[in-house]
Structure 1
Amino acid sequence: MKGEVKERGMIFNDEMVRVILGGNKTQTRRIVEEKFYGRAVAAELLAKHCPYGQPGDRIWVRETYRVHGKATDVATLVYRASVRNSWTEQTHRVPVEVCNKPVSEKWTPSIHMPRWASRILLEITNVRVERLNDISECDARAEGAPTESTLIGDKHYPGFRSLWKSIYGEDSWNANPWVWVIEFERIQGATSE
């Protein structure tokens, strides 16, 4: 019998938040911190101990935001990833009693986002472990990677490689680390909400 559903926060940059909201990102990769030596059986066992959760668990997206205003009963939050969108799409309202932050013109970094401020909730559908460079074209697309032109057409794999290097550096890509592959579906935070 599966235990209680767990929720954990996970940081996403503005670009990835936009891709999640657009419905084009259903996977994320995070570096495995434990020492790992590459046996398939070990990968299967390790996937059962993913620090980000198991299928059925939830991830609340941590993104850069600020408190825009407070009324008697609600506080209005603005999200940096959505500032180019309509006012309705870029804001989220929460009960004022849970909003313990003052109104500010400064952005609060994603690492400091509390659960009550999150507007996007993801449900984990699958977890596995693999080498970073083993990502398939299909998985690069599921990562929400942009396309890059190649001799055989536009491909997501080179876009994913470029995105990874921009975040973690060239050395990280070349080291080909083991990564958690976390597949998810968005259950809260649709652009129509």
Structure 2
Amino acid sequence: MSIKPILFNTPMVRAILDGRKSCTRRIVNPQPQGRLCYTFAGGDCGTWGYPSKTAYENWGDEYKLPEDITDEELKRRWNPPYHTDDILYVRETWRKGLERYIYRADYSDTEKFYRGGKEIEMKWHPSIHMPKEAARIWLKVTDVRVERLQEITEEQACMEGTDPWDEACYENNGWHPTLSDPDSGGDPNMIDGFHKLWNSTIKKSDLDYYGWSANPWVWVIEFERCERGGVDER
């Protein structure tokens, strides 16, 4: 078990706080090329750790001779960023107030801020610069696996914190819910909503490689909330 940071943008922090997000997908780097055989060191076929030298994996031309790769190199290239039972502290957009830390996710996108009766522009610090002491959300990893992005299910799309009211969830349903009649046409398509959500996190220059249509290999990391006080940092 290790204690590690994990970054989430403001909408995903809100989803975690609301209890709507208990899973995240992260790009596998480097990406496997061709068919991936699920035979890995330390487990049976179908388990995930890192490829063994005798496994019949195909991770690209430069890795077709596994006997030439050291164990250290295997671990470095194919070790997941998080493991089951790891404790993660969430880094989010923040700033330090006079007496406490404050967080962007606690305020609406249209929130106005005032000082001395005058409206001011709040200057927030990016999540990557948030110190560990400012973390208020702690997570325990419950499962880690690898799969193609488009293998996501409706249930998993919900666990990703996809907003069921996003119009993308209804584009292929032929109807649009309203507050007065939210059930007028059936259930939302959460995978379509996740499709939009995923692409919003990828740089435009990388969409051809890591966007939804590219269907990249991803780490699927499931987690649950835990208390800061229960973490042993020794």
- Normalised-by-shorter TM-score class: 0.7 to 0.9
Equivalent of 1:58 in 87, 93, 112: 87
* Separation of aligned partners in 1, 2:158 and 2:31: 28
Structure 1: runs of 5+ lacking an equivalent: 70-74, 85-104
TM-score normalised by L of structure 2: 0.63
2:195 corresponds to: 161
Deviation, 1:41, is: 2.4
Aligned-residue CA RMSD (Å)? 2.3
Q: Which deviations, in whole Å up to 9, do the C-alpha atoms of 1:94-122 show, x marking residues without a partner?
A: xxxxxxxxxxx521100111111111000
Aligned partners of 1:188 and 1:15: how far apart in 2?
A: 21
Amino acid in structure 1 at the alignment position of 2:50: L
Contact in 2 for aligned 1:46/1:129 (Cα 8 Å): no
| Matching residue within 105, 117, 120 for 1:81 | 105
Q: Quote the residue 1:16 is aligned against.
A: 12
Q: What is the match of residue 115 of structure 1?
A: 132
The one-letter code sitting in structure 1 at the alignment partner of 2:89 is: W
In structure 2, the gaps of 5 or more residues are 41-46, 52-77, 109-121, 174-185, 229-234
Equivalent AA in structure 2 for residue 83 of structure 1? Y
Secondary structure in structure 1 of the residue aligned to 2:85: coil
User: Once the two structures are superposed, what CA deviation does each residue of 1:20-78 show, in whole Å capped at 9, x if it has no partner?
Assistant: 00111000000011242422225723398312x21111111000100111xxxxx4111
More strand by share: 1
Distance in 2 of aligned mates of 1:143 and 1:67: 29
Return the letter of the residue paired with 2:37.
R
Is the contact between residue 148 and residue 218 of structure 2 (CA under 8 Å) also seen in structure 1?
A: yes
Aligned pairs, number: 161
Greater than 6 Å deviation, 4+ residue runs: none
Identity fraction in percent: 42
TM-score scaled by structure 1?
0.76
Given that residues 31 and 217 in structure 2 are in contact (C-alpha distance below 8 angstroms), is that contact kept between their aligned partners in structure 1?
Answer: no
- For the residue of structure 1 that corresponds to 2:32, the secondary structure is coil
CA contact (8 A) 1:119 1:188 kept: no
